[in-house]
Structure 1
Amino acid sequence: MAPQIEGVLETCLYVDDLMAATDFYRNVLGLKPIFSESRMAVYELGPASVLILFVKGATLEPVETPGGTIPPHDAGGAIHVAFAVAEESLPKWRARFDQFAITVASEVTWKQGGTSLYLHDPSGNLVELATPGLWPNYPRRLR
């Protein structure tokens, strides 16, 4: 039997313009920055997870660190990420998107419960804000 995975520590998106992406994730979505440099920016995602924005093509070579080598990685196309939000926060999110002239691409009310708002970041990545009930392990109330 495999040891148990405890959760997702990092979620990575690849962006065309790091300044535009930083503006979107910090100012529109309100994420708290942890670290940034010319090829990446890192944001808090709740108590035990981070979002890393990498400039597309900036991680194609191995990176040597004092502790070892980070293998190359990259992605292309419109990547998808979903962020957990409280159901009662949806009206505030809609108002915030209006304030920043962000178009909600789609809204889905799921049969099993929960609602998702979909929008695009400046690089075209699909960002979903999902309320509890969407998945069996995402209960009606946030922990």
Structure 2
Amino acid sequence: MKEFLQIKESCLYIRDLEKAKSFYHDKLGLEIIMYEEGKHIFFRAGTSVLLCFNPKDSKFKKSPPPHYAEGNQHFAFEVDTQDYENVKRQIANLGIEITDMMVWKSGQESFYFNDPENNVLEVVPVGVWD
């Protein structure tokens, strides 16, 4: 539908929510907007929300409908083009290993790293898909 403006929420399934809190809030600086121990933690990233659900809980929910996933999941953070290299340095300075880099058809580069549960995270500059 052309009325869709954006993907507002992205979801990861994370068993250790305390490690998620330490990584996404303490290291990456995302604001916590909701936390229910053992169930879920939600973070704000710009105008988007990153939902982290414990799959042992969310798999059996009645409402919202049950949902879960296994394996390495993926999403990308978008940064202003002029901030890209600085963000890459900051990630490396936090002791987080950059696992891969890609140069896209647009000529822009993105880089990848993992969270504590081995989900594949990416940083892309604005315009990479334009």
TM-score by length of 2: 0.89
2:57 match: 58
| Structure with greater Cα Rg | 1
What's 1:45 paired with?
Answer: 45
2:120 to 89, 103, 126: 126
**C-alpha root-mean-square deviation of aligned residues, in Å?**
1.6
Structure 2 residue corresponding to 1:92, chosen from 86, 94, 118 = 86
Identity %: 31
The answer on whether the counterparts of 2:92 and 2:98 sit within 8 Å (CA) in structure 1 is no
The question of whether the paired residues in 2 share the 8 Å contact of 1:114 and 1:134 is answered with yes
TM, length-normalised to structure 1: 0.82
> Is the Cα–Cα contact under 8 Å of residues 42 and 50 in structure 1 kept in the other structure?
yes
Residue-pair matches, total = 129
1:31 aligns with 2:25: no
Q: CA deviation at 1:43?
A: 0.9
Structure 1 CA distance for aligned equivalents of residues 13 and 52 of structure 2: 6
Q: Any gaps of 5 or more consecutive residues in structure 2?
A: none
Deviations 1:40-90 (A, max 9, x none): 11111212x210111232201124xxxxx3110001110010111112222
CA contact (8 A) 1:113 1:132 kept: no
The answer to whether the 8 Å contact 2:108/2:128 transfers is: yes
Deviation per residue, 1:113-135 (Å, 9 max, x gap): 32211000000100001012321
Residue 20 of structure 1 pairs with residue 19 of structure 2: yes
